[in-house]
Amino acid sequence: MKKTKTPIKVRYQETDQMGVVYHANYLVWFEIGRTDFIESLGFQYHEMEAQGVVSPVVDVQMSFKHPIRYGQEAFVETWIGDYDGLRVTYQYEIKDSEGRLAVSGSSKHVVVKKDTFRPVSLRRGFPEWDRAYKQALGVE
């Protein structure tokens, strides 16, 4: 199973009054990790968009374990948890610089036509992405 590890430097603006990363910012970090993961497979999300499709989030799960504070470094580990040719679920673990798990979670996405929001099969419409996702899962 393929995983990426993306460094994040905690910025002051990402924290709350207690100096702890504000919970909604972890969703942004999930996106940073997901983008890095996709690029590690050799793809650019904007290239897919240029072909008239987008990949909206249809579900997100997050579980908070340990705070990350301003000035710390964090890492987003990203991998594919599930893929069926139409939907993909990315898994995430955000850890602090000491390796402590701060946040775990997932986001489920479906590829749709930009103008109609009708689902698009990656197997048929983007076979190279389909192969790469299956390889990243270790099923091909």
Residues annotated catalytic, as ranges: 16
Instruction: With CA atoms as reference, report the closest residue to 68 among 10, 28, 110.
Output: 10
Q: Evaluate whether 104 touches 65 at the Cβ level (below 8 Å).
A: yes
Length of the chain: 140
Q: Kind and range of the H or E element at 134?
A: helix 127-137
Answer for the pair 116, 138: CB distance below 8 angstroms, yes or no: no
